[in-house]
Structure 1
Amino acid sequence: MKLDGTTALVTGASSGLGAATAAALTARGVTVLGLDLREAPGVIAADVTSEADVAAALTLVDAPLRLVVNCAGIAPGRRILSSKGTHGLELFRKAIEVNLVGTFNVMQLAAEVIAATEPDADGQRGLIVNTASVAAFEGQIGQIAYSASKGGVVGMTVPAARDLASSGIRVNTIAPGIVDTPMMAAMSPEIRSSLAASVPFPHRLARPEEYAQLVLMLAEHDYINGEVIRMDGALRMAPS
């Protein structure tokens, strides 16, 4: 899929994976429409769980919308039962709402816009890349809500690709491992070193730019569809 002269929608674009993806796409000449809860340079304030917010943002698309990258998400940590009491339903519901419902909301509304564009010679109109996590497969202690939400994103991949096939839209999911995002930067050097050592190879944290590189690869490889790709250095998470 050619990206020149097109528009990409990137959620969670203010930092981490979303910011790296927006920068990589901009460098490739793509017009990036960035969404995040807080407005920032080049980023529009929008709640991914709001149909009105996302629909309003999509009206700003000028060049054909060809790529959507869902990076917005939260990562709450709490056990089902601990010395502090139960997990609490509201926190669980919030994780599902942002990570799973938000991803679906952006996907459904953006797909409608992409489907209205002219296809290329192969009938392709666009690509949607969603973000899961290795926690979808090996959730750690305290990740019950996060793992459930990301497992849902993984579960949407194949049916979404099948649903949108008739519109010439591919759907893939990236499941990152431990990525060196701003959240990780707040941890001590000792903890960061320990996490890096747990990765079989390479022995380091993933870089946000590597996620962006994978997005570009997926955009250029027209035959990858309905796939979940782990970006984790062969990491398989331990219980804690």
Structure 2
Amino acid sequence: MDPKGHAAIVTGAASGLGAETAAALAKAGSKVACLDINIEGARQTASRIGGIAIKCDVTSESGAVAALKEARDKNGPARILVNCAGVGPAKRMVGRDGPMPLAEFEKVISINLVGTFNMMRLAAADMQTLEPLADHERGVIVSTASVAAFEGQIGQTAYSASKGGVAALTLPAARELSQFGIRVAAIAPGIFATPMLTALPQAAQDSLGASVPFPKRLGEPREYADLVLFIVRSNYLNGEVIRIDGALRMAPR
């Protein structure tokens, strides 16, 4: 699908991967709705790229329904959804203070996995009503997994479980939505220069970058965004989880 002229929704668009993806889609000619619970950040992104900003808690059914309605009313029905909203706290399952509070595990699962599914189901319901394009395609959904889905480190039980769920969700969703001409894919980034990592001391960032086989650096959000555009444009790419990690395989710690 050529993204030009089509409405797109990007969650987690206030910063990092989401902000860069929103910018790339806008540059490619999409009408972009920047969704984030951080509405001020979303407004900054939207202002920079010529999009619209909408406050959205992806874990809320009513909130997501309202956000998609607002995006649809302003930009028209979206043919592109990119799920970038997520959190990545590190905490051991059993630490010095005892077992991880169950509520903390549930929060990560709720945002990263349930939130992704919530947006997928609602966007797909809209997409299936659209007229098919010349290639019989109605829409594309791209979600964000992580290399932690496959090589989770110590302290990443919640994060890995959530991203493993996103990875596992991709193929059955693609199979189910194929009848409507909707493709589903996911990206599994390695160590990227998102706000969470760039807040670390430079020495720590350099050390993390040096652990990547090649190129020996942190991934850049624009590289994630480039892959999103490649997926959107590649009609035969469906049901796949694509790693983008410089050949990194995470060590236990």
Relative to the length of structure 1, the TM-score reads: 0.98
Query: What corresponds to 1:131 in structure 2?
Result: 144
Asked if structure 2 preserves the Cα contact closer than 8 Å seen for 1:164 and 1:170, the reply is yes
C-alpha distance in structure 1 between counterparts of 2:164 and 2:83, whole Å:
15
Larger proportion of helix: 2
**Is 1:51 matched up with 2:64?**
no
Asked if structure 2 preserves the Cα contact closer than 8 Å seen for 1:38 and 1:44, the reply is no
Identical-pair percentage: 57
**Is 1:221 matched up with 2:234?**
yes
State the 4+ residue runs in structure 1 displaced beyond 3 angstroms.
Answer: none
Which blocks of at least 5 consecutive residues in structure 1 are unaligned? none
Which blocks of at least 5 consecutive residues in structure 2 are unaligned? 47-52
1:197 to 210, 233, 246: 210
1:177 CA drift (Å):
0.2
SS at match of 2:34: strand
Asked if structure 2 preserves the Cα contact closer than 8 Å seen for 1:129 and 1:215, the reply is yes
C-alpha distance in structure 2 between counterparts of 1:108 and 1:194, whole Å:
39
C-alpha distance in structure 2 between counterparts of 1:130 and 1:212, whole Å:
12
Relative to the length of structure 2, the TM-score reads: 0.93
1:122 CA drift (Å):
2.2
Asked if structure 2 preserves the Cα contact closer than 8 Å seen for 1:76 and 1:91, the reply is no
SS at match of 1:59: helix
**Is 1:96 matched up with 2:109?**
yes
Alignment of 1:177-196 (within 5 A): 177-196=190-209
Deviations 1:84-132 (A, max 9, x none): 2111111101111000000000000000111111101221011000000
**Is 1:237 matched up with 2:250?**
yes
Query: What corresponds to 1:27 in structure 2?
Result: 27
SS at match of 2:39: coil
2:89 to 44, 60, 76: 76
Asked if structure 2 preserves the Cα contact closer than 8 Å seen for 1:71 and 1:131, the reply is yes
Query: What corresponds to 1:39 in structure 2?
Result: 39
C-alpha distance in structure 2 between counterparts of 1:214 and 1:197, whole Å:
23
Asked if structure 2 preserves the Cα contact closer than 8 Å seen for 1:65 and 1:113, the reply is yes
